[in-house]
Amino acid sequence: MRVLSVFGTRPEAIKMCPLVKQLESTQGVESYVCLTGQHREMLQQVIDVFKTRIDYHLDIMRPKQTLTTITCDVLEKLQGVYSELMPDLVLVHGDTSTSFAAALAAFYHQIPVGHVEAGLRTYDPYSPFPEEMNRTLTGHIATLHFCPTERNKQNLAREGIVKNVFVTGNTVIDAFATTVRPDYQFKNLVLRQVPLWKKENKRIVLVTAHRRENIGKPLENICEAIRELHNSFSDLLFVYPVHPNPMVREPVYQMLHNLPRVMLIDPVDVEDMHNLMSQCYLVLTDSGGLQEEAPAFGVPVLVLRTETERPEAVDAGTVKVVGVDKSAIIKETSVLLTNQNQYTQMSRAINPYGDGTASRKILRIITNESTISI
């Protein structure tokens, strides 16, 4: 059986590389990997950590790329790859434009698609934009659906997708087996100060924010809130690995670069990231992946968005959606910083996203699927 995994951004790579590892070590499976290159350095960082073999690289990233250029480039360049390789199954992940375009290209070649991380929904097509539509369309193209949770399966059922839907957990938890170690030494020079910060009883707040719908005023609000929190709490140490998108990078550096306890750094690789997360006090983020990872370490997450497609950890009490108003961010963060009871309640380690065996479950399903009919 010939399986082609197609991905192109950092989060897809983090969640697909553990599965590729399983595919590569399975007899009877010929595993191939195609990177679209929607991301460049951030993607390569993940490939280096997992030491994944790459068979095709479409290298599409351009500065100021648009949703249209990403979609068209992936569609066009995958034609040749699919025609040459003729895979029995194409695997895509989640909700990026790479995933949707790769699924659509497979449909045009009448190749079955397996959708990893299927069934997440906010039911607002513009939030997150364009991810909600990407994953919905991908779900309707796919033949096999690998849902992280039972709730994701129910979401698909509501849309009439009931065949070949499997609950497997999320492969992001599998990634910890490669990335997290108790004796970990940070590669990033700034992060090498983590032990010193801990010794000085600094509370490390990890920040990430990059989403398209947050660019502009919401991102400015987030930065202003960070500045005020920095000035109000002298024991806080913010670490913010800044996304390379100039529309994120420029305002963030402009607004926060001169604060002594705000460390603006380039994106760190996933080993540094997971180990940093495991040691921090609190996460402020608009990322999807961080909402899944931090609860596993018992680190509370405040989500800098107005909704989430990952309500499982919200229900469990370790994640709270606080929105993008400056005053709401300051208020909710201050509560967690000053109210020990609230903090303790939120910092229970829970893991609604699986037990680290999602890749193995997906592999078993793929290899048992005697006929993948489209």
270 binds, among ligand UD1, ligand UDP, none (CB under 5 to 8 A by kind): ligand UDP
Q: Which of 12, 39, 115, 117 is catalytic?
A: 117
Q: Which of 212, 249, 360, 364 is catalytic?
A: 212
Cα distances (angstroms) measured from residue 57 to each of 9, 51, 76, 116, 317? 12, 15, 13, 20, 41
Q: How far is the CB of 222 from ligand UDP (least distance, A)?
A: 14
Look at the block and give the residue holding tokens 């979609």. Answer: 71
10 binds ligand UDP (CB under 6 A): yes
130 binds, among ligand UDP, ligand UD1, none (CB under 5 to 8 A by kind): ligand UD1
Q: Which is nearer to ligand UD1, 62 or 187 (CB)?
A: 62
Within 200-239, the residues that bind ligand UDP by CB under 6 A are: 208
134 binds ligand UDP (CB under 6 A): no
Among 11, 119, 311, 352, which residue interacts with ligand UDP (rule: CB under 6 A)? 11
Question: Residues 145, 165: contact at Cβ < 8 Å?
Answer: yes
Q: Which of 12, 73, 95, 309 is catalytic?
A: 95
Within 23-82, the residues that bind ligand UDP by CB under 6 A are: none
Q: Is 210 a catalytic residue?
A: yes
Question: Residues 219, 250: contact at Cβ < 8 Å?
Answer: no
Are β-strands 203-208 and 236-241 bridged in parallel, bridged antiparallel, or unpaired? parallel
What is the distance between the alpha carbons of residues 239 and 274, in angstroms, rounded to a whole number?
13
Q: Is 131 a catalytic residue?
A: yes
Among 289, 352, 354, 356, which residue interacts with ligand UDP (rule: CB under 6 A)? 289
Among 18, 288, 311, 354, which residue interacts with ligand UDP (rule: CB under 6 A)? 288
Q: Is 212 a catalytic residue?
A: yes
Question: Residues 29, 1: contact at Cβ < 8 Å?
Answer: yes
Q: Which of 131, 286, 293, 369 is catalytic?
A: 131
Record the tokens describing residue 228, joined without a space: 């005020």
DSSP conformational letter for 276: H
Name the residue whose CB lies closest to ligand UD1. Answer: 96
Question: Residues 133, 317: contact at Cβ < 8 Å?
Answer: no
Q: Which of 211, 243, 305, 310 is catalytic?
A: 243
Question: Residues 31, 3: contact at Cβ < 8 Å?
Answer: yes
Which residues would be at the binding site for ligand UD1 (CB under 6 A)?
9-11, 38-43, 63-65, 67, 95-97, 130-131, 210, 212, 244-245
Q: Output b/e per residue, 90-109; b: 16+ Cβ within 10 A.
A: bbbbbbbbbbbbbbbbbbee
Local structure of 159: helix, strand or coil: coil
Provide the CA 26 distance to its chain's centre, in angstroms.
26
208 binds, among ligand UDP, ligand UD1, none (CB under 5 to 8 A by kind): ligand UDP
What is the distance between the alpha carbons of residues 19 and 94, in angstroms, rounded to a whole number?
14
Question: Residues 210, 248: contact at Cβ < 8 Å?
Answer: yes
Q: Is 30 a catalytic residue?
A: no
Among 156, 239, 273, 363, which residue interacts with ligand UDP (rule: CB under 6 A)? 273
Q: How far is the CB of 15 from ligand UD1 (least distance, A)?
A: 11
Q: Which are the catalytic amino acids?
A: 95, 117, 131, 210, 212, 243
